[in-house]
Structure 1
């Protein structure tokens, strides 16, 4: 009886080995995926000067392509539409800089006197720290018992705030120029590049679904970005008007700054409130009056973030606050302020891609708010045999 059992036991071994091989191949594939992801992030970090304008141009292309397509329905050539959009962006940026350059330069020139005034008004709070610093200096003098002439100290004069700002603006200007030139070529080419990539697929039906998915992604991302831009502009107007009413100087400057900073959720509001608090501390006579301006700023940002934006965007376009915060922190660490400003549009594009591509639907579930149980819609790229039968 033992002889017939041996072949069955031997026959049971190959499936076990096959299962182990499958598990090993999955582990190897996962390890390679992790290493490739880390390599991509390392390349994005060390070659930030190259990838920042490239990412900016690609992001703006996704957001503005529906506008070029809409102008194309009016028989406007894509090259003319692209040039018009780029010149509008340049004109808006130049007008904003011209409007805000004078008050911004004034605050930069007065930075040393502002620092002294802050120290004077906050002297009571800084007095214990000053006493500790003076005591530590006295201890260092007593401990220095080396005879002879003390060595000369070489003091390297660092660049002032204005020089650092000019250098930063030059770097930003070069990157913006590269991004705008690349944006012009992307917009003028229309969907030609995307169609070439999709043309690699031999199946005509799948090719059509890919193009529909691409246009859906562009439409969703563009709708989100335009809506957020309108909300941010309204917040900037409200902040500027409120700060003007409480007596803060250069209210237009702080309103424009609130508009730009609100593209960085949470972190932008914190930076804006801190700057307004510093300015109010300088310009107001009492601490109570100085706290009024940042309190108004904080109240308006809370009203916008918790009530206005969710009600306007609705459930379909609302993002998870945790994911938004992590995206701003990550891209801000990776690419600085430009990365923090691009974090939310990048996240929106990724979510739109996950909503419309079937294999990425689990990622779409992760990007949704915690209280939202509605799964992503069945995207146009999803290969469903039942849908194929119905269409047939």
Structure 2
């Protein structure tokens, strides 16, 4: 019975969140004049093999972004700068790999390391400001997002190659490209080879944060800095390390696309992934499995946006609104379930205490 109760409690929040998100999204569609029926009919249509591959590719990228944000959240740090750390990382990797100083896989591996170092280095600025000057990481990372965009744009103009109306870094030598993996023979596209980085990062995230002393100290510090200090944890060190790890993972976000598809970094390279990762982490409650489902849900909505626009004339922005509504619904649903759980526990304790008091009165009598 207790297992069933725990299962119901565990499933209550996500089910409630989905129901709330569906209801609110339907109302918004109706208010804006779009067909609610067409929206759900297209959205719930099973994707074609090509679309499924796209969902997995983008889902892997979002998963990396979600883990980068979740590392900070576990430490009670709001790393809003995942976007800038991602852009600095992918630009640094593309600029290095495009020179061709190294050949083959060595060029790829070193470029990936450089991307992680660049992401971590950019995150270190916010970490140091927080530790030594008391500057909120929310403010510093938001400012660093803007600065990174300007810096990357400047350096891209300095070293980039003009191609039509866009500017990009030199193309990475073909020997350093990472081939794809065929999942569906009739899809016409492949899973990006470096999408497997998401698997590696996910397993490492689970092991380090859940199975090591460092992970325990990180989570403990996030829950209570005072208690962490009392137990001998160096809070300043933990803040810096957590931000460095978050930035290093953020630097990996662009690697699947860079080495598997685009092969250079340019002004047309996708932006906004870092911000989406924050929403994915919130949706997944910073849990490695939860982040996976959050990434796949957002990737699915992203892929279906084109069909909604083409087949039903529904603006792609509606999908973005749906994503935002989903995140809000998750936060509200988990809080409601938490309060209900606390109320039930308090009621159970009250009943137990009353029963003990009744027994004591009977004994005394």
TM-score range, shorter chain: under 0.3
Q: Which has the higher contact order (CA 8 A, sep 6+)?
A: 2
Q: Which entry has the higher C-alpha Rg, 1 or 2?
A: 1
Q: TM-score, normalised by structure 2?
A: 0.24
Hey, which of these two has a bigger chunk of helix by percent? 1
* TM score, norm. by length of structure 1: 0.23
